[in-house]
Amino acid sequence: MDEIYIRTDMNNQIATGHMMRCLAIADALQKNRIKVNFIVADESALELLKKYGYKAIILYTKWNNKEAELPVLKKYIQKLNIKKMLIDSYEVTEKYLREVHNLVRVMYIDDLNINPYEVDALVCYANYWKKFHYDQSDNKIKKYLGVKYAPLRSVFWNCESHKIKNRVECLLLLTGGTDPYNIIQRVLDGIERDNFLRIEVICGVYNQNYDSLKEQYGNEKKIFFHKAVDNIERYMQEADIAISAGGTTLYELCALGVPTISYAFVDNQLDNVKQFQADDIIDYAGDVREENIVDKINMYLKKYMNDMELRKKKSLQMQRFIDGKGAERIAEALIAL
């Protein structure tokens, strides 16, 4: 059986985005009878990987100093006779990719375009990929560009049309792995909660405000808090409108066709949320570090709640934009590498 190794990390600083999209690709590889192993800097991701049925090699290095791990990584490459590696990290350097590429075939997932990439294949599924002006005439590096390669988990691969109700009943609030600015509380305090029959709040594994949020809103029977859920797609499917931070979650919401309002709280979300708005797919409420997003959220909520046809239109646009099969396409490219 062929074997592919995935080098990525997760922790309370970079959250879970890199790991989750790599898990989606790993599942697609296993569907094609390819064995997958992960390589991680530390033990932070072990529990999640075990939950999904994957093993990991722990380098016992610093996740944000990739060049320093090269001697250890090279030993594993030689010891295990590793032939192919998928790398997903913002901390790679030109030297790191070059030295790994000298030993194995490498595919790299790119969101930032900040390095000359000496690799065999490059994936940029971000909706803003055109701004990077990749040289597509350079055949030395295979390039897989655009949202068709958005690597979503298998539950998002074949989604039915989203049911749009006459009345908005359920609001879904999502932050991703972390919520450093306590956006959930600011949104809950700022919206008209009585407009909804149910408000579902999904907190990530690194959300430090979870207990205080449950305590603060515990007496409100319509608000339900969940942390690090395994079946986030169920909550998305039941939602009439979602409010979400930028990132892969927006692509998942698109695959399911859930009308969504986005916001950003880190730099690497800005291009994503702004492009979704420019493409008239997802409305953007702003950067929480610089503006009061709650006013814009309320404006968009009012617009959506009063217009069922608009919600239908947005839902259709979202599902046309993302078909959810990007992980399968990346897996096929890795196998062919």
pLDDT single digits (tens) 95-118: 999 999 999 999 999 998 987 789
Tell me the C-alpha distance between 161 and 159, whole Å.
7
Are residue 178 and residue 110 in the same domain, yes or no? no
Are residue 147 and residue 170 in the same domain, yes or no? no
Q: Give me the pLDDT at residue 1, please.
A: 59
Are residue 129 and residue 48 in the same domain, yes or no? yes
Q: What is the pLDDT of residues 48-100, one digit of tens each?
A: 999 999 999 999 999 999 999 999 999 999 999 999 999 999 999 999 999 99
Are residue 196 and residue 134 in the same domain, yes or no? no
Torsion of CA 49, 14, 129, 319, to 10 degrees: 60
Give residue 13's domain range.
Answer: 3-152+324-336
Q: What share of the chain is helix, strand, coil (3-state, %, to 5)?
A: 40, 20, 40
Find the mean pLDDT for residues 210-229: 93
Are residue 110 and residue 240 in the same domain, yes or no? no
Match 């800005």 to its residue by tokens: 270
Average pLDDT of the chain to the nearest whole number: 95
* Catalytically annotated residues: 18
**Residue 267 CB coordination number (10 Å):** 10
Are residue 166 and residue 104 in the same domain, yes or no? no
Q: What is the CATH number of the domain that holds 134?
A: 3.40.50.11190
Tell me the C-alpha distance between 276 and 77, whole Å.
39
Q: How far apart are the first and last CA of the chain?
A: 16
Q: What is the pLDDT of residues 311-336, one digit of tens each?
A: 999 999 999 999 999 999 999 999 99
Are residue 119 and residue 264 in the same domain, yes or no? no
69 is in an annotated binding site: no
Are residue 62 and residue 170 in the same domain, yes or no? no
Residue 39 pairs with which residues in a beta bridge? 7, 57
Give me the number of domains the chain comprises: 2
C-beta separation of 334 from 153 below 8 A:
no
Q: Give me the pLDDT at residue 67, please.
A: 97
Tell me the C-alpha distance between 85 and 83, whole Å.
7
Most confident of 13-17, 217-221, 316-320: 316-320
Taking alpha carbons only, the member of 116, 161, 165, 125 closest to residue 143 is: 125
Match 């969940």 to its residue by tokens: 226
Q: Enter the tokens of residue 170.
A: 């359920």
Are residue 171 and residue 301 in the same domain, yes or no? yes
The sign of the dihedral angle between the CA atoms of 116, 119, 124, 129 is positive
Q: What is the pLDDT of residues 20-58, one digit of tens each?
A: 999 999 999 999 999 999 999 999 999 999 999 999 999
Tell me the C-alpha distance between 152 and 43, whole Å.
24
Are residue 104 and residue 176 in the same domain, yes or no? no
* Run of H or E including 179: none
Q: Enter the tokens of residue 126.
A: 């971000």
Are residue 77 and residue 217 in the same domain, yes or no? no
Q: What is the CATH number of the domain that holds 270?
A: 3.40.50.2000
Are residue 13 and residue 123 in the same domain, yes or no? yes
Angle (CA) 179-18-26 rounded to 5° is: 135
Taking alpha carbons only, the member of 4, 281, 331 closest to residue 153 is: 331
